[in-house]
């Protein structure tokens, strides 16, 4: 059966009540935190936080885990930092890549769809990947087959399918915002893998099923939430753990319950501090805080550190612990980029290249300058070193700072005293550091060896004279000078 989906004729199967999976495909998972499908028997659960959790009806849903402040801070920090990086279309120019534009590919990079700008689009993509382990992006094509829009789908509404011959399809549930409205075809459509960009994270269980970092930090987040809930109840009770009503004799369960309810109603919570009148020799004995209770701050810090380690985020960036004492913003940013952001950025760029079917001379790239935009000192120092080292032209550095080019600044410069290695090698061949001959003593010959032809400026012989002839001529002059000296004496 053929239907028109987002400008493309796609073969779909009717979502039959008896056979929702088309052809011979089998479901391998979905966009949930674990490898089990959202339509299966274990929906929206982060597998088992500990052995036997499922038997105890203990579920950790993403909505619960995301309520923990450290989890929320890590996910929003990562997605916001990547989202602020502008998408650029790069074209190969010889051996380098330069920023370029294309009528076919540039529009979708500037405006991915009708309701999201490129920042919201990237943030949505990264959040889906971090919280569900998978990001599913549906393509919309024009009549030429060019991708003109991209839609990040709800991962809970997508399920990968694999046929017996290994072909991959995706089953999509109703999603009117993304333009998926099967109508007469039921509540589901099936599209080939060529129409979906599937960016998956940590495929621990199946190559088509990513696993979210929430899978590893779910128990720590649960512990942190329990600590916060208990602390809230503790301070609602006036920052005291409570007490015991002691009766002088045995009382029935009904009497104990009645006294307890009356005491909590009249003297607990907002009524704490009111004067209590006790009769029948009743006594109130307050409880003291144990040493374990006093360690809540350390326990809460430990859970936050575990969450940060799972997301590879330095703790100080989300308010866990103190920042390093050394003042080197560039080193801290580089550490955060290489350990946390780089793999997500590289995966995003490669998925975009393959999803848009870019020719070999094109590629997409996120502008990493956005990571240093607020660190002006580091950016200026880096550009200054590049210009001083002859690597970057002044106008290229000015462009990075959003400044107009100046005359004469289009060429890289280098100081004059810097020489090439070839020139230094040529100099060393001529032995510039050889020691000169010692100065002659008065009344003695200057040298006992014949000089080279160029040492005698009065010599009019040609350079073709042999060494033997030059030596004989030199000795004749030496004998003549000694004879003239004897006649004078």
pLDDT at 21: 47
CA distance 459 to 473: 10
The predicted-structure confidence for 134-164, as pLDDT tens digits, reads as follows: 999 999 999 989 999 999 999 989 999 999 8
Q: Are residues 368 and 471 in the same domain?
A: no
pLDDT at 38: 40
Q: Are residues 307 and 196 in the same domain?
A: yes
Whether the predicted pLDDT of 89 surpasses 50: yes
Q: Are residues 268 and 179 in the same domain?
A: no
Q: Which residues of 313-327 are buried (b: 16+ CB within 10 A; e: fewer)?
A: bbbebbebeeeeeee
Q: Are residues 171 and 275 in the same domain?
A: no
Which range has highest mean pLDDT (61-75, 431-445, 475-489)?
Answer: 61-75
Whether the predicted pLDDT of 197 surpasses 50: yes
For residue 395, give its domain range.
375-434
Mean pLDDT, residues 348-360 taken together: 94
Does the predicted TM-score (pTM) go above 0.75? no
Q: Model confidence at 125, in pLDDT bands (50, 70, 90)? A: very high
| Residues contacting residue 263 through CB under 8 Å, at least 6 positions apart | 245, 276
| Residues contacting residue 149 through CB under 8 Å, at least 6 positions apart | 6, 108, 112, 113, 114, 139, 140
pLDDT at 258: 73
Q: By the 8 A CB rule, do 144 and 13 touch?
A: no
pLDDT at 141: 93
259 or 445, which is more confident:
259
In a domain, 440, yes or no: no
In a domain, 387, yes or no: yes
Whether the predicted pLDDT of 405 surpasses 50: yes
CA distance 137 to 127: 13
Domain boundary among 373, 401, 424: 373
Q: Model confidence at 30, in pLDDT bands (50, 70, 90)? A: very low
Q: HSE (CB half, 13 Å, CA atoms) of 102?
A: 20
In a domain, 362, yes or no: yes
Q: Are residues 358 and 395 in the same domain?
A: no
How would you write 28-77 as a 3-class SS string?
Answer: CCCCCCCCCCCCCCCCCCCCCCCCCCCCCCCCCCHHHHCCCHHHHHHHHH
Q: Model confidence at 475, in pLDDT bands (50, 70, 90)? A: confident
Q: By the 8 A CB rule, do 394 and 406 touch?
A: yes
Domain boundary among 353, 373, 393: 373
In a domain, 448, yes or no: no
Whether the predicted pLDDT of 214 surpasses 60: yes
Structure tokens belonging to residue 448: 């006992």
In a domain, 246, yes or no: yes
Whether the predicted pLDDT of 377 surpasses 60: yes
Q: Are residues 167 and 224 in the same domain?
A: yes
In a domain, 441, yes or no: no
Q: Are residues 204 and 279 in the same domain?
A: no
Q: Are residues 258 and 223 in the same domain?
A: no
**Alpha-helical regions (H) of 67-196:** 69-83, 106-110, 118-132
Q: Are residues 280 and 143 in the same domain?
A: no
Whether the predicted pLDDT of 329 surpasses 80: no
pLDDT at 54: 57
pLDDT at 41: 33
Q: Model confidence at 46, in pLDDT bands (50, 70, 90)? A: very low
How many separate domains does the chain show?
Answer: 4
Mean pLDDT, residues 100-113 taken together: 93
In a domain, 203, yes or no: yes
Q: Are residues 233 and 246 in the same domain?
A: no
Mean pLDDT, residues 255-263 taken together: 70
Q: Are residues 465 and 476 in the same domain?
A: yes
pLDDT at 11: 44
Q: Model confidence at 309, in pLDDT bands (50, 70, 90)? A: very high
In a domain, 392, yes or no: yes
Mean pLDDT, residues 417-438 taken together: 75
Q: Are residues 424 and 469 in the same domain?
A: no
267 or 324, which is more confident:
324
Mean pLDDT of the chain: 76
117 or 489, which is more confident:
117
């Amino acid at each position: 059966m053929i239907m028109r989906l987002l400008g493309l004729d796609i073969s779909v199967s009717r979502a039959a009540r008896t056979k929702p999976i088309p052809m011979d495909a089998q479901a391998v998972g979905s966009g949930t935190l674990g490898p089990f499908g959202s339509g299966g028997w274990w929906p929206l659960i982060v597998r088992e936080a500990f052995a036997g959790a499922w038997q105890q009806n203990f579920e950790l849903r993403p909505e619960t885990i995301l309520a923990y402040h450290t989890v929320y801070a890590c996910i929003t920090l990562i997605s916001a930092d990547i989202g602020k990086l502008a998408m650029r279309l790069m074209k190969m120019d010889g051996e380098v890549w330069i920023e370029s534009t294309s009528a076919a590919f540039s529009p979708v990079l500037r405006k991915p769809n009708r309701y999201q700008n490129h920042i919201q689009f990237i943030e949505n993509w990264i959040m889906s990947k971090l919280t569900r382990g998978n990001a599913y992006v549906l393509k919309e094509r024009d009549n030429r087959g060019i991708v003109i829009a991209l839609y990040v789908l709800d991962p809970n509404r997508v399920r990968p399918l694999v046929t017996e011959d290994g072909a991959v399809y995706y089953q999509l549930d109703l999603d009117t915002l993304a333009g998926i409205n099967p109508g007469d075809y039921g509540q589901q459509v099936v599209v080939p893998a060529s129409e979906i960009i599937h960016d998956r994270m940590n495929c621990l269980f199946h190559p088509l099923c990513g696993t979210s970092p929430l899978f590893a930090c779910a128990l720590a987040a649960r512990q942190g939430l329990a600590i916060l809930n208990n602390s809230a109840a503790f301070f609602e009770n006036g920052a005291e753990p409570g007490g015991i009503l002691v009766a002088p004799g045995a009382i029935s369960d009904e009497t104990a319950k009645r006294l307890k309810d009356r005491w909590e109603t009249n003297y607990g919570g907002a009524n704490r501090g009111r004067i209590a009148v006790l009769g029948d020799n009743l006594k109130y004995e307050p409880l003291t805080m144990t040493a374990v209770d006093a360690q809540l701050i350390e326990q809460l810090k430990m859970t936050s550190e575990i969450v940060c380690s799972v997301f590879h985020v330095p703790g100080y960036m989300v308010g866990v612990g103190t920042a390093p004492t050394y003042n080197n913003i560039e080193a801290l940013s580089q550490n955060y980029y290489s350990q946390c952001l780089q793999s997500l950025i590289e995966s995003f760029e490669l998925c975009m290249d393959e999803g848009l079917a870019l020719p070999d001379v094109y590629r997409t790239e996120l502008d990493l300058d956005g990571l240093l935009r607020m660190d002006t000192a580091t950016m200026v120092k880096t550009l200054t070193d590049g210009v001083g080292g002859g690597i970057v032209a002044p106008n290229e550095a000015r462009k990075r700072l959003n400044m107009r080019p100046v005359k004469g600044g289009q060429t890289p410069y280098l100081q004059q005293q810097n020489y090439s290695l070839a020139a230094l090698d040529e100099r060393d061949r001529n032995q510039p550091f050889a020691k000169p001959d010692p100065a002659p003593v008065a009344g003695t010959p200057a040298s006992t060896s014949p000089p080279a032809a160029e040492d005698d400026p009065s010599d009019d012989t040609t350079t073709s004279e042999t060494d033997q002839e030059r030596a004989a001529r030199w000795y004749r002059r030496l004998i003549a000078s000694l004879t003239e000296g004897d006649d004078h004496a």
